[in-house]
Structures are given as C-alpha cells and as structure tokens.
C-alpha cells in the first residue's frame, strides 16, 4: 500500500494523506541552520548543534505521535478552524498534499473554499527558515479569514530544556516589535544569540505565552486563541515562550494573498548585544527580514536552492528502464547522502539530537557517498576527522561538531575506526586527483604541536591494526568493531550500563574477523596509494602485511562454509556452525570477500550461498542467524535486543550493501541487484503499510524474520546505509568507479538488462557513458570506445578539458 | 478564588473541579515505592529512585499540560465514553471530585448514571499502587458498560527513556497471563526486576502496545480501542509497551461492583528469575496480587494506612480558634515534611526526577520538620548524611539514594553544608534524648576505614568554618552557601554552563555573612551540646569562636541598617546600601538575628524593620531588593533570572521562615505570625487563581513584586520551606520547643490571641499544654503549672512514664 507517489520531474515525493504510517520527514538547510519537517509540518530547527542550539521545542515519543511540536498554521473562518497541513488542528480537509523536495517541503490543504499552500525552506547562506504562505479563496463569495501562526521556543539546550523545569519555567523572555516576536531567553546573561519569528504584514494580534495561546487544558489541536479567533497579545514571562501571529485576511472570490514568515537565528558580538538597556540589538534580524520582504524574493531563493541541488545531483545520473532505480540513483539516494553529510547521526525522528557527536567511522563512511557531490567539503571533513586521531593510530569514536574535539566521554578503542580513514582518503584522491591532501599537516588529538602530514595519519591507521592483533594474529576487536553491539570485552551485569563505554576486560584476546576483512580490503587500497605516490617500499610492506592477514583469515577465520565473525574473550569462535545461536554473521562475509578472500578457491561463492540461505529474507538480509534468545554476557548488547531487532538478527541495511558489493566482486550481478531492490526505498514503497518509514530514504534497520513485526523499518534517514548503498549501486553494480588515473567501468548487473546510460562529471569532464549488454551477461567489459575511439582496458582517461565525452561500453 | 475546600475531619483537601490552575498533586507511598498523582490521576510511579527505576512513563511540560501520562480509566457505555477523573477523556461529568488525603487519593466522577470512584494508594510495606475502583449504576435501567484501564510503562531509566529512541523503540517486552500484564523489558539481560498491572476479575480483552490501543494519530483523550469499545489484545514488541485491561460490567439499577487493580514492582534473585525459558518467575507478583484479592482486604489496608498517618501526626497537635492554623499545623505542614523526608527534592511536577540526589543541606534541614514524627528514621538519615562528609569537615553537596555515596559530579565546597549537620544532630538529641548517636562510628566519604564517632563529625563541621575564613575573618562562601545562585567564585561567561559545578576562581576572598550568622546560631548550639555531654573545654572553645565571629559580624557584616549579605571576590560588599541593585538580602538578616546578633543594641529591630519595608509584600518577603536587571558575572546565577523570579527577588518561602524566627527571637509575635500567614497555603487558598499551586502545601517560590506574574507560585511540594515553616510556627511562634532536659514553652504570638492548646508527644509522655494569654502579650511566660503544680522556669520536665500530663502556661 502506498501513501503517495514519486514526482521524479520535480524531484519530489508527494504524500497524499496526512496520516502516513509514521510521520514522514524531510530536512531543510545545508550549511548551519537545519530543520526537520514532517508531512504535517511537525519537527524542529537548530543552529549547528541539535543539542546546544535548539531553536524550537519538540517532544519525541509524543502522544499523539505527531503533535510533539512544529511550525503550525491555523486558518480561522467564521467559527470554524483548521490547519492546511491537517495537523495540528486535525480537521478534515477537502484536499491535502505534502511535497518533500530537495531542501524544501510544500504542504497544502483546502477547506471551506480556502486553499492554503505553505512552502518551507532554508535559503542558501541564510540562518533561518522561510515559510511562504499562499491563501486563496476558491469559492464564489468574499471571505474574511484569520491566519494564526505558531512556533514554540526551545530554551536553547535541548536536554536541559526537557529536564530542568525548576529553573526553566522562570527564565523565558521575549520582545515584540511590530510583526516580529523575538526570543531572548538568557540573552541578558551569557548568550549572544536570539531567535525571531516574523511576518511581512501588519498583524491583528500576537501571543508569546504558550498557556495564553493554547489554554491550560487544551492541546495543539484546539488552542483557545484559535477557537476564539482572537489573539490574547500575551507577553511571555517565564513558563513556555512561543510565537504566534494573527493576520486578518480579506479575500475576494478567486483572490490570492501571499505572506512570508521567517524563523531566524542571530548572533551578535558582545559589544553590540544591546540597542538600549534590556532591548536587544535587532539590526541583523531586520536585515534578514528585509531580504525576503515579498514573495518574489522568496521565489528567487527557491530557484537558487533548486539550482544548488541540481548541481549537486548532476555529478552522477543514470537513465535506465527501471524508474525506481533511476529515482534512487539520481535523486533520493544522493540526497540522503548529502543529509548524512550535513547531520551525521545527530537528529532524526529516532535520534533526539542530544546524544551523539560526529562518529569517526560514521563520517568516514558517509564521505564515500557524498564526496563526488562536494569534494571541497569532503576534504575539510577528512582533516577534521583525522585531527581527532590519536598518536597510536587509534581514534576518538566521536567528536563534537561545535568544538571539533574528540569526545572524552565516549573515548576510543573501537578498533575498526582507524581503517575507515584510509578508505575515505583513498576515495577522495580517486575522485579528485588531489594528492596534496596527503601533505596537510594534521594534528593528533587536536594538538597542533603534534601535527604530521595526513599520509602519516593513514600509515598509523594501517599500523594500528598490525600493532593490535590477538592470539590467532587476527585484529583485536577492542570495545567493538563496526558492530557497536558486539561487545566482547564488556561483560556488563549492571542494568542500564552502557555497553559502549564500559570495558571490564583488558582485551588482548577477543579478535575480529570483520576488521581482518577490512584490513585486506582497505590495506590493499593503502598499498596501491603508496605505490601511486612512489613510496614503493611502503607499498611492499603493506602488501606483505595484507597478504599475511589474508592467510590468517583463511586459516583461522573461515568456518568451513562461511567466515567466522570473531573470537571472544575466551578464545571461542563467534559466528560459527559450532555455536547454538548466532552461527553466522553478515559483516565478515561481505568485507572478507570485498578484500578478495576466497575468490580463487570458491570459498567466496560458497559463503555467499550460505548468506543467502541463512540470512536472506524478502525484506533484506538479517545480520545474524539464529537470533540470540538470551543474554550472553560475553557478547554484550547484541544479545539484549529481542530477536529480530537491531543488531540481533535485524535487517541492518548498512551491511546489506557489503553483500551486494561482494556479489559484484564475484561477478554475480543478478544477486547483487536483487539484494539492492530488497531494501532500496523506491522498491519498498509498495508495502509502505508494513515498512512504515519514508519510502524515499533508507532506514537503518528493518525488523528481521525472527521479529514480531517482520518487515517494519526504524530509524530512517541518518544511517551509513545511504552511502554504502550508493557505493554498491553506483560503483559495484552499475560499475562506474573512480580510479587514480581515470574512471573505471566495470558493471555487475542482472543479465537480463539490455543496458543503461550514466552521465558522470569527473574531474571537470562530462562523461556520457552508454553501457550495452547485447549478450546478456552480468559482468565483464568486452569493448570500450571513448569519443568513438576504442581503447584498451576499461578505464576512461581524464581529459581535463571540461568537455563532454561519449563513452560506449559493450559487455560480454 | 478557590477550587475546592479542606475537609479537616478526614484530613483531606477536596478538589471540586478537574481544571485547577495547575495539576494539583499528592504523593503515595512512604517506604520504597512512590507515586505522584494529580487531581485527574496524572503522574507516575517509581521504586526508590525516580531516575533509575521509573515504573510508568510521564511527559513533563506536556501539551496538553495534564496529559503527560498517568493511571487512566475509561468508562464505555454504548458508544459514549468518559473518564471518572475527567482526564484523559475530558468528557463533561455530571459530578467530579478529587480527595487528596494522607497517602491516598480518591477520585470520583459520574456520567450517564454511572458513578465511578477510584481510590489510589500504596499500602504499607508493599511495592505497589492499589486502585480500588467502585462502579455504581445510579439510574433506573440496567447498564452494560465496559471499564478500560491504562498505564504506560517507562523503560526503567527515566532519562534514557526520553532520549535513546534508536535503542528503546526496539526493546519493549511484555508477558500476559490471565488478567495480569507483565512488563519485562531488559529482564532477559541485566535487570532482575519487572512490573505488572493486574485486576482481580476476568478480562474481556487487553492491550499492551500503545499504538494499538491509542491509534497512530489519536491521543490519550480518545484511544481508538476505547472509542470502539473493544480491546485489540495487542502484544507489545518494541515501541511503547503499555498495560490496558477491558472489563465487561453488567449493573442492575442501584448495583455496585468493585474491582482491585494493582500496579506492582518485583525483584527476583538472579537464580530465580525464570519460570521456564523466557518466561518470568511470577511467584512474588502473584503473592502481591493475592494479598488484595477483594475490596475488604483493600479497605483494611486503607485503615492501616490511616492509622499510620494518625500516629505520625499525633506527635504535635494544636487546637486554636484559627482553622487555617490548625489544619496547617495538625495536617498539611507535617504531611509535607514527611513527603520531603521520603522524596527529598527528587520528583515533583517541577523536578523531573532525573537530576538530583539527596542534598546534604536539604536533608539536614528537612530533618528539623519530620524528626519528631519518625525519630528512628531521622537517626538513620543523619548517619547516611554524615557518612558522605569529607575528612576536612566539608561535604559532598548531594548523595545518591540508591548507593548513598557522595555525588562526584556535583562535588562539594558549598560552605554552609557542614553546619546544617550540627543543627540536625542537636535537634535529634533534643527530641529524643538519645545521646548515643554521638558515639556512632561514621565513615568519611563512605570509607569505613576512616570512621570516627559522629561527635567528631560535628566538631569537624564546626572547625570547617573556622578553618575557612576570608580577609575580614568572615567564613569563605565557597561555591555558594544556602543560596545556590549566589556564585561569587564562578565568573561564568559560557552559555548554559552550570553555576554550581563551575569554579573559576581559587576563592579565598569572597565571604558569606549568612554563614557567619549560621555559625553564631548553630555554633552556640554546638557549644551547648558539648557542655551537656560534659566536654566543657570544647564548649568553652566553641563559645569563644562564636563570640569572636559575632564581633566580626557586627564590625564587618553590618551595613548600618541591616546585615550585609557577603563580600565578593573583589572584596566588595554584597547586599549593601552602597550597591545599585541587591542592596538588601533576606538570608543574613534572619540567621544573624537567630544567632543573637544585634539583640541588645537594637540593631536587630532596626534590621527587621528594614526587612519589612524593603522586602515585604502581601504575598511574602522577597529574597533581595532591588532585583537585578542585568547579569553580574561576579554574582552568578542570581542575576540570570528575570527580576522577581526565583533567587532574583522572588519570594523564596524557605527563608521567609527565618524572618519569622527572628521576629519571634525579638519577641514580635504579631509580625512573626503575620509573615507566617502571608505564605502558609491554607491562607493563600483564597486566591488560588493567582497562586496557582496546591493550596495545601508550600511552594518553593512565589513570584515577587518585580515580576510580571506577582503572586504566582512555582515548584510546590519538595522544598525546605516545609520544615523551616514548621519549625517557625511550632517552635518559634507557638513556642513548643524540645530541649535537652524537657519541653520548653516560649511562645511569640499575636497579642490579640486569647490562647490555644497544644498536645505534644515528647519522649513517650503526652503533654497537654494549655496556653493562656489573659493580658494579651506577644511573648513571655509568667507562670507555668504541670499537673496542677507550679514549676519555675518554662521547661516541662521529662516524666518518662508514658502518661498524660496537663501543662498550663500563663503569658504576661
């Protein structure tokens, strides 16, 4: 069952009912000001940091589910009132539509012959959310309606805001001037920032005190002010400051009126904070408001935003016979990758935005999905990440976006972390050809006095694995590898204790076959890079270590039919047929094969067949099987989840991509693409009532076959799934692969395909690549011509002329 | 305006409308299981620790205000449905009433000829909340109705529960057996506890998944299951587990049916956790349920609870002509003192229950109000508190109730803390005559190897002041004294930084005149105690130090018309006529005079007149004047609040009591009692629409004259106001004062009073004290007879015979 449709021409998902199975959201903003917005305008905004600089209040896990806060509009028409986005008023609409587009959301609703459309977006280079509200009288009688706006201020620190009521109920302060309501809580003391909510028209009234607007015992669905059709002109004094305008609007039949509301954020230098005693300096806000004084200015900014996104999405485009594939590759998967670049894991409808910094491994992997879109900012992100690395090659697991410093509270010792940095650097150089990044003097632990070239950082990443191996010569797992919930050194018996930050054992025994697989996969890339920059000695050393590790994997890391997952602290196998539960795990299968293990001797194929048999479901591949049904203190968090959820045999979509890649590596394009379609949102749209999350973006997890709610997704949007699935489809399956000296073409596709076209902007060149599959094979390039001339091999050279070049590839 | 009335005979406050100005709550439980319950049954329950062992979920700062969670009942009658407590269904009732009593709350509502009464309480020695539901058909036709129950489980850690959705939406687990719904999230791993919700009757259906019960887009006011009149029999699998029963009830005209619901908590030993694989051991829950299998058992437990409270409240009772005074002294103030004993500051409608441990100074002061009711538990509390003291006499500012260990996160250096321990010990011995407490070996910093007798602890408390004095010889303030918001060593410029845990200066300059006042007041008590136990040398030493401090106060701590508040880090006066804002503070005035400063030379009277003139308002005395209108980095948090709120010139009711005490010390009973009536809840009841908080208990703060909402209270229930106002009225005003060798009678009352009777149970004796005021004086005992015999002085001796003794006191 579907709740909307893709409008590919407009790059929009169009939602046709307000009561989707879960609020379906979009993200606004791409620089410093960000918003989450649902299909009924729920959600919130923040500046840079979702915890410390929250602008509007939001209640997670609310009852009713969707009324936790948002930017709300109410139309009042002669005693009747409703919201154009259905919520919060929840009066039945004659027509409802929500269009989630690239960095904007447009919600429209009609009732009583009044059609209202609100377009929400954050303009480029602007610290605010702009709402263009268009109200039209579609009837044949004159209408006198009122439009009420509503937002609720968060008292800046989102965590404190929801816990420290003894203080916070006393501190709220506002100023009202003309049609602008300013939120200035704590501005008089240590804050140098305020927020405002404005409208470009005279107002009939306003409210800034929540209780005065809503009423003590009313809800967002029926504020007393809206029901009465008249503002109370309340001035907040403690309690919960809000901002609400009331506009009286007169509309002749067929007449349309347009209003611009702005929710903005301003910082002032200390010496310019005040206009006069206790009166804030409003200059910057007034400039921001002036910028969008009418609808035309807004439309221009919307056009600029569209051009910005067209630019980002133009780097990789496909034309195929499969509309779902096209919209995933051309629009939604890349869009989601950019959102993970902007937000990391900070704030979604499942991440309350107060808990997490930028993950080291998360961000390095995210880079793989977005760096072709904005290589400059990818470069900056790489340096930020590497600057938090430690001298021994290890890494802080997270860093704080405001300070960019490593997070002491979480610490390090997640032993896969360092390797992802190598992969990100390699991908960056392959995309850009910019080797100078290797020379950037980069600090350790943010200490500039310890700065060394980035090339030294990735060497230490490589060596960190070699220097930390266990009894079998496999890499020590540390606190956890990529699977945060496989905690082999934790041994927690304390209720509620964090598995990630608790380490009870010294930990020189538990080993990770997954890190070993990563090491051969990424270590080879490291060796290639060293060779590329002329450091043959280092390349040789690296290749030797990789080769050694590969042997160790095949000797101690292969269980007969698939790869082991790990050895636990007692030296016992994890993910072995010997185990009663958790006999097979997904991660090591994908990464070992991506590293080339078992290719020659058939073990890779055998492994992948076992994966399909034991982990495969119609909704994707589960993480492990059988699910754990009791707590294993020696395994940690993975065994705490109910069977089929999250890391305990859930379909963890991130790692599904590694199996797609592995299938591509062994040339099985049909299987690779089959796995792709099982979890790619455009394909899951058909059963949205089961999947429940947005059908235009990936979710982190889909409940596995052991779960009571098999097929139900959770934690949409901010997941490494986005980048890895883009890598899988764009590089491993469609086979358009950046290499140091050009763009490699090496597809692994369903044999039934006739072909497809990819346009790839690569180092300034515009490569129009047509892939033809006359013999219906899955893999293997038999012939390639560039601008009509056949070339040997399958790498399109770099022209560097910024011109369009035609590439034709024949498979067979 | 009133929203109910006091029913003194039943010791109840009766609320007659569900829409009170704010939810008006009560506390259930007195040992380990506690609940907050509002007049519409909102609130939540926890076991021991409001943060770590939260049983039901609650949303603070909710919209609608009252629908954050609770124990909800819905009646369904042929398509119509409502709640007997109005909320959550909010259908109009023909009759509504809520009776908050001693440890129980009874809510009843009538609609459609169905009268429903629910009595909520926590039986003595029982880890659960019992709800007796009585449904009566008051009409003349047979009724077939359905009763739906509802509670929502918290996933144990209340903070994690509201932030960590990525995990928590996956972990919820329940079991259903018969009419019992068990909540067992995380029981399979490290938890050894579960909760349950039962009813003593067969059920027609149940629900345990919130969304199935409520509906994706419904609220607590209209759950889809209730609207349909039929349960979904849902079994929670992640998301939000709840518990709801559906009972089909057939009622003849006039017929009544009674049901017992139990919300219980159970811990099992590790080896007895399971009945069979993944099936929890229900033995203890079944025993708890069996205990209240019918209404008669419930009624018996209610009688026992009433007897328990009658016992606690019988220790001090008054009969006077003033009903308001009687109900404050006999019922509500003592009840509130017991609640602060049980809860400290952990959980109210303003304290989210996740932030604070037991305060060192809070708990020592709370003791003064409850120790006569339960001296044994007061003794235990004193030892717990003293065990967190540090070897230098300083103290951790808080300790955690589960571990009883000092809270490292907050730390110490609140330099008033140690002195309150002396006052608590002195009060305990005066009440009980139990000097053996002084010999109890008590650790420092919970380290048993460092244990010394309690007498040594209070010596170190005393010496901690002497050892930490500043340039004028006045005590150093440290991080803050009693006024947490006067932060003279903090100098914070970082938004959101805690003023209490940040110390930017070494802090050997800023001094507190308030601590100096405390030192002379409490130091004298220390000296008296030393004398009493025969340690004359220590008594002399102490008296010498006290005398020296008194001289220093009069030389450096008096500003001409009142006492200074402090010296700041620059050695500048705080609370002086020289200052532009904050010229006078309340705390030092009260405590210096309680310590005897300025009594002989008239400076005390002068000071108290200045207090009345500058701090007095009709709603109580403000903390300081004029209010601060800008941020003073050298003063800290006090200047961050808007003028008139909290510590910035709010009416902070706790310290109002010190002025009452000081007025009593100088013999001005009229003024003392006048101040008493300005803030005592029974007197503020008349203007509940302004005051807004419960009219039966004190609030921490009432907005002061500089505030926009002058007279509005906040943070009711858990405040040191309860104990200090009880000390002020019971000892300083009514003048019934425990002393080492007997009960002193020394009133300071309005001259207009003719007299009053107090019954005081003191060390086993029952003293019936009649005070007569034939000459209409305010203070001074002219004659006292005990059992008909005149005695000299004003101390009733200890008989120790457990008998009743008549005491007659003539003032004049």
A496–B22 CB contact, under 8 Å: no
Q: Does A417 lie at the interface with B, CB-CB under 8 angstroms?
A: no
Model confidence at A386, pLDDT cuts 50, 70, 90, reads very high
- Of A237, A355, A495, which is closest to B707 when you measure between CB atoms? A237
- ipTM of the assembly? 0.96
B580 touches chain A (CB under 8 A): no
Residue of A17, A56, A61 to mutate, interface with B, max B Cβ within 10 Å: A61
User: Is some CB atom of chain A closer than 8 A to the CB atom of B795?
Assistant: no
Q: How many CA atoms lie within 13 A of B383 on its CB side?
A: 16
β B699-702/B713-716 pair status: antiparallel
- Cα(B716)–Cα(B347) distance, integer angstroms: 11
Return d(Cα B461, Cα B390) in angstroms, integer: 10
Number of H helices, E strands in chain A: 21, 44
Q: Is A213 exposed, middle or buried (0-12, 13-18, 19+ CB in 10 A)?
A: buried
Q: How do residues B169-228 score in pLDDT, each as one tens digit?
A: 999 999 999 999 999 999 999 999 999 999 999 999 999 999 999 999 999 999 999 999
Q: Which of B165, B166, B220 sits opposite A63 (nearest CB)?
A: B220
From A61, which residue of chain B is nearest by alpha-carbon distance? B162
Nearest to B563 by CA among B516, B498, B522, B530: B516
Range of weakest confidence among A339-353, A605-619, A634-648, A697-711: A339-353
Window 652-681 of B: residues touching A by CB (8 A cutoff) are none
Say if A189 is an interface residue toward chain B (CB within 8 Å).
yes
Using a CB–CB cutoff of 8 Å, tell me whether B441 touches chain A.
no
Q: How far is CA B354 from the centre of its chain?
A: 16
A349: chain B residues, CB-CB within 8 Å: 165
CB contact burial A433-466 (16+ within 10 A = b; e otherwise): beeebbebebbbebeeeebbebbbbbbbbbbbbb
Q: Cβ A60–B715 below 8 Å, yes or no?
A: no
Strand order in the sheet with B511-512: B511-512, B566-567, B573-574
pLDDT, average across residues A209-213: 98
What integer pLDDT is reported at residue B356 of this predicted model? 67
- Residue B369's alpha-carbon distances to B329, B345, B589, in angstroms, are 11, 15, 22
* DSSP-H helix ranges across A668-739: 669-679, 681-684, 688-691, 721-727
Distance from CA of A414 to the nearest CA of B (A): 19
Q: Which of A63, A362, A717 would you mutate first to test chain B, the one with the most B CBs within 10 A?
A: A63
Overall average pLDDT of the B465-475 stretch? 97
Q: How far apart are the CA of A98 and the nearest CA of chain B, in angstroms?
A: 17
Q: Name chain A contacts of B631, Cβ cutoff 8 Å.
A: 188-190
> Which one of B22, B164, B166, B629 makes the best mutation probe of the A interface by having the most chain A beta carbons within 10 Å?
B166
Residue B63 and residue A167: Cβ atoms within 8 Å?
A: no
Contact A170 B645 (CB under 8 A): yes
Token representation of residue A381 = 């992100």
Token look-up 């910035």 returns B648
Interface of A with B in 333-352 (CB under 8 A): 349-352
Residue A399 pLDDT grade (very low, low, confident, very high; cuts 50, 70, 90): confident
Q: How many CB atoms lie within 10 A of CB B665?
A: 21
Cis (ω within 30 of 0) for the bond into A88?
yes
The chain A residue lying nearest B165, using CA atoms, is A350
What is the 3-state composition of chain A as percent helix, strand, coil, each rounded to the nearest 5? 30, 30, 40
Distance of CA B400 to the CA centre of its chain: 17
C-alpha span between B344 and B356 (Å, rounded)? 9
Fold for the domain defined by A4-310: Beta-galactosidase; Chain A, domain 5 (2.70.98)
Q: In terms of Cα–Cα distance, which of B23, B758, B31 is closest to B377? A: B31
Query: Would you call B316 helix, strand, or coil by DSSP?
Result: strand
Q: Is A646 on the interface with B (CB under 8 A)?
A: yes
Inform me whether the pLDDT recorded for A153 exceeds 70: yes
Domain A469-619+627-649 is found in CATH 1.50.10.10: yes
Cβ count near B154 (within 10 Å):
25
More confident residue, B500 or B134: B134
3-state class of A440 per DSSP? coil
pLDDT reading at B140 higher than 80: yes
- Cβ separation A64–B218 shorter than 8 A: yes
DSSP per residue over B8-76, as a string? TTTTEEEE--S--SS--EEEE-SSSEEEEEETTSB--EEES-TTTTEEE---TT-SSTT-S-B-EEEEE
Task: Label residue A258 exposed, middle or buried (CB < 10 Å: 0-12, 13-18, 19+).
Answer: middle
Closest to B151 in 3D by CA, of B239, B285, B241: B241
Interface residue A793 vs chain B (CB under 8 A): no
Find the radius of gyration of the CA atoms of chain A: 28
Q: Has residue B410 got a pLDDT over 80?
A: no
Q: Which of A161, A207, A416, A484 is catalytic?
A: A484
Q: Contacts of residue B186 in chain A, CB cutoff 8 Å?
A: 495-496, 640
Contact B63 A165 (CB under 8 A): no
Which of the residues A152, A189, A636 would you substitute to probe the B interface, choosing the one with the greatest number of B C-beta atoms within 10 Å? A189
pLDDT, tens only, A738-785: 999 999 999 999 999 999 999 999 999 999 999 999 999 999 999 999
| Residue A745, beta-bridge partner list | A736
A475 has which bridge partners? A469
The answer to whether residue A484 is catalytic is yes
Residue B772 DSSP one-character state: E
DSSP-based three-state secondary structure for B739: strand
Q: What is the pLDDT of residues B661-703, one digit of tens each?
A: 999 999 999 999 999 999 999 999 999 999 999 999 999 999 9
Q: For chain B, give every domain's residue range.
A: 4-310, 354-363+380-683, 736-811
If you ran DSSP here, which 8-state letter would residue A382 be given?
H
Convert the pLDDT of each residue in A93-113 to its tens digit.
999 999 999 999 999 999 999
**Two domains, one topology: B354-363+380-683 and B736-811:** no
pLDDT tens-digit readout, A73-89: 999 999 999 999 999 99
Enumerate the residues of chain A whose CB falls inside 8 A of the CB of residue B39.
none
The answer to whether A708 contacts B642, with C-beta atoms less than 8 Å apart, is no
Q: How many CA atoms lie within 13 A of B504 on its CB side?
A: 15
Chain CA centroid to CA A333, Å? 10
Q: What percent of chain A has pLDDT over 90?
A: 96
If you average pLDDT over residues B490-501, what whole number do you get?
A: 91
> Which among A170, A646, A708 has CB closest to B641?
A170
Q: Is beta strand A765-772 parallel, antiparallel or unpaired with respect to A804-811?
A: parallel
Residues in A touching B163 (Cβ below 8 Å): 60, 159, 352, 354-355
When the pLDDT of each residue in chain B is averaged and rounded to a whole number, the result is 96
- Give A-chain residues touching B216 at CB under 8 angstroms: 19, 21-22, 65
Contact B64 A240 (CB under 8 A): no
Compare all CA atoms of chain A with the CA of B497 and give the residue at the minimum distance. Answer: A190
What phi and psi values does residue A73 have, to the nearest 5 degrees?
-125, 145
| CA B266/CA A540 separation, integer angstroms | 63
CA distance A679 to A651: 9
- Identity of the residue in A65, A160, A167 whose CB atom sits nearest the CB atom of B216: A65
Q: What are the two backbone dihedrals, phi and then psi, of residue B742, each rounded to the nearest 5 degrees?
A: 160, -170
User: Model confidence over B593-644: pLDDT tens digits?
Assistant: 999 999 999 999 999 999 999 999 999 999 999 999 999 999 999 999 999 9
Dihedral pair phi/psi, residue A724, rounded to 5°: -65, -35
Summarised one tens digit per residue, pLDDT across range A789-811 is 999 999 999 999 999 999 999 99
CATH of A736-811, one of 3.40.50.80, 2.60.420.10, 2.40.128.130, 3.30.420.40: 2.60.420.10
Please identify every residue of B annotated as catalytic: 484
Q: Is the dihedral of CA A675, A679, A685, A691 positive or negative?
A: positive
Contact flag B237-A493 (C-beta cutoff 8 Å): no
Could you tell me which of B352, B221, B214, B196 has the C-alpha nearest to residue B280? Answer: B196
Are B287 and B85 a contacting pair, CB within 8 Å?
Answer: no
Q: How far apart are the first and last CA of chain B?
A: 39
Q: Taking CB atoms and an 8 Å cutoff, what residues of chain A touch B640?
A: 171, 186, 188-190
* Closest of B243, B249, B281 to residue B261, by C-alpha: B243
Architecture of domain B354-363+380-683: Alpha/alpha barrel (1.50)
Q: How much is the mean pLDDT over chain A?
A: 96
B354 CB neighbours in chain A (<8 A) are 163
Q: Interhelix angle for A454-466 vs A417-432, to 10°?
A: 140
Q: Which residue in B148, B174, B349, B114 sits closest to B247, CA to CA?
A: B148
Rg, Å, chain B Cα set: 28
pLDDT of residue B402: 74
At A17, the pLDDT band (50, 70, 90 cuts) reads: very high
Token readout for A201 is 């028209």
Torsion of CA B60, B65, B71, B72, to 10 degrees: -150
Q: What is the pLDDT of residues B319-373, one digit of tens each?
A: 999 999 999 999 999 999 999 999 988 899 999 999 767 889 999 999 999 999 9
Q: Does an H or E element contain A434, and which?
A: none
3-state secondary structure A536-562: HHHHHHHHHHHHHHHHHHHHHCECCCC
Residue A356 has pLDDT above 70, yes or no: no
Min Cα separation A603/chain B (Å): 35
Structure tokens at A590: 């994908």
Q: Identify which of B170, B277, B640 has the shortest CB distance to residue A641.
A: B170
What phi, psi does A811 have (nearest 5°)? -90, 160
| Inter-chain touch A495–B63, beta carbons under 8 Å | no
Strand partners, A779: A748
CB contact under 8 A, B641 and A171: yes
Q: Which H, E and C letters describe A563-593, residue by residue? A: ECCEECCCCCEECCCCCCCCCEECHHHHHHH
Select the residue of A189, A630, A708 nearest B640 (Cβ to Cβ): A189
User: Is any Cβ of chain B less than 8 angstroms from the Cβ of A190?
Assistant: yes
């Amino acid at each position: 069952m579907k709740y909307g449709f893709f409008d590919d021409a407009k790059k929009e998902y169009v939602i046709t009912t307000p009561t989707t199975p879960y609020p379906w959201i979009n993200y606004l903003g791409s620089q410093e000001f960000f918003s989450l917005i649902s299909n009924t305008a729920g959600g919130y905004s923040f500046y840079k940091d979702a915890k410390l600089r929250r602008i509007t209040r939001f209640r997670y896990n609310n009852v009713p589910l969707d009324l936790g806060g948002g930017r709300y509009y109410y139309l009042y028409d002669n005693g009747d009132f409703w919201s154009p986005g259905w919520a919060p008023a929840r009066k039945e609409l004659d027509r409802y539509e929500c269009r989630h587009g690239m960095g904007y959301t447009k919600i429209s609703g009609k009732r009583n012959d009044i059609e209202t459309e609100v377009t929400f977006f954050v303009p480029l280079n602007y610290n605010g959310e702009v709402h263009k509200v268009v109200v039209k009288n579609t009837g044949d009688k004159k209408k006198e309606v009122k439009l009420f706006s509503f937002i609720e201020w968060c008292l800046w620190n989102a965590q404190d805001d929801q816990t420290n009521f003894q203080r916070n109920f006393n501190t709220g302060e506002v100023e009202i001037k003309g049609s602008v309501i300013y939120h200035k809580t704590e501005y008089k003391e240590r804050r140098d920032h305020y927020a405002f909510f404005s409208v470009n028209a005279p107002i009939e009234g306003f409210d800034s005190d929540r209780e005065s607007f809503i009423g003590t015992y009313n809800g967002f669905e029926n504020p007393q002010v809206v029901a009465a059709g008249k503002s109370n002109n309340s001035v907040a004094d403690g309690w919960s400051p809000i901002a609400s305008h009331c506009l009286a609007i007169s509309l002749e039949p067929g007449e349309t009126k347009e209003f611009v509301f702005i929710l903005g954020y301003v910082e002032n230098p200390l010496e310019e904070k005040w206009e006069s005693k206790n009166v804030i300096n409003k200059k910057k806000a007034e400039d921001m408001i002036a910028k969008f004084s009418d609808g035309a200015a807004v439309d221009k900014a919307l056009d600029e935003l569209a051009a910005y996104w067209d630019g980002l999405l133009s780097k990789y485009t496909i034309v195929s016979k499969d509309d779902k594939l096209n919209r995933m590759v051309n629009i939604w998967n890349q869009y989601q990758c950019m959102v993970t670049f902007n937000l990391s894991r900070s704030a979604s409808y499942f991440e309350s935005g107060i808990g997490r910094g930028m993950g080291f491994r998360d961000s390095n992997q995210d880079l793989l999905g977005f760096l072709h879109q904005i290589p400059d900012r990818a470069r900056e992100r790489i340096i930020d990440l590497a600057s938090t690395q430690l001298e021994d090659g290890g890494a802080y697991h997270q860093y704080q976006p405001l300070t960019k410093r490593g997070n002491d509270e979480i610490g390090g010792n997640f032993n896969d972390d360092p390797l992802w940095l190598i992969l990100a650097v390699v991908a960056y150089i392959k995309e850009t050809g910019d080797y100078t990044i290797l020379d950037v003097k980069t600090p350790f632990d943010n200490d500039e006095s310890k700065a060394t070239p980035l090339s030294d950082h990735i060497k230490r990443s490589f060596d960190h694995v070699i220097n930390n191996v266990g009894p079998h010569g496999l890499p020590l797992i540390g606190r956890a590898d990529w699977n945060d919930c496989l905690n082999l050194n934790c041994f927690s018996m304390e209720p509620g204790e964090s598995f990630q930050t608790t380490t009870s054992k010294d930990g020189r025994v538990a080993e990770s076959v997954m890190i070993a697989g990563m090491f051969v996969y990424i270590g080879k890339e490291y060796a290639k890079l060293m060779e590329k920059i002329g450091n043959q000695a280092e390349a040789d050393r690296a290749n030797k270590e990789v080769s050694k590790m590969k042997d160790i994997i095949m000797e101690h890391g292969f269980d007969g039919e698939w790869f082991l997952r790990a050895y636990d602290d007692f030296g016992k196998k994890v993910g072995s047929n010997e185990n009663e539960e958790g006999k097979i795990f997904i991660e090591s299968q994908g990464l070992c094969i991506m590293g080339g293990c078992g290719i020659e001797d058939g073990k890779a194929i055998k492994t992948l067949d076992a994966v399909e048999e034991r982990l495969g479901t119609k909704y994707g591949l589960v993480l492990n099987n059988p699910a754990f049904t009791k707590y294993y203190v020696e395994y940690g968090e993975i065994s705490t989840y109910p069977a089929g959820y999250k890391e305990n045999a859930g379909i963890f979509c991130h790692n599904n991509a590694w199996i797609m890649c592995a299938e591509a590596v062994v040339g099985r394009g049909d299987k690779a693409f089959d796995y792709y379609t099982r979890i790619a949102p455009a394909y899951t749209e058909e059963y949205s009532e089961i999947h429940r999350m947005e059908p235009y973006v990936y979710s982190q997890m889909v409940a596995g076959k052991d779960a009571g709610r098999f097929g139900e997704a959770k934690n949409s949007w901010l997941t490494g799934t986005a980048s890895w699935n883009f890598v899988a489809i764009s590089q491993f399956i469609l086979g358009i692969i950046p290499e140091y000296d050009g763009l490699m073409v090496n597809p692994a596709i369903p044999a039934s395909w006739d072909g497809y076209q990819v346009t790839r902007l690569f180092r300034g060149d515009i490569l129009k690549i047509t892939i033809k599959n006359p013999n219906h094979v899955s893999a293997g390039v038999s012939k390639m011509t560039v601008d009509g001339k056949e070339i040997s091999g399958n790498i399109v050279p770099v022209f560097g002329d910024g011109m369009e070049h035609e590439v034709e590839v024949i498979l067979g």
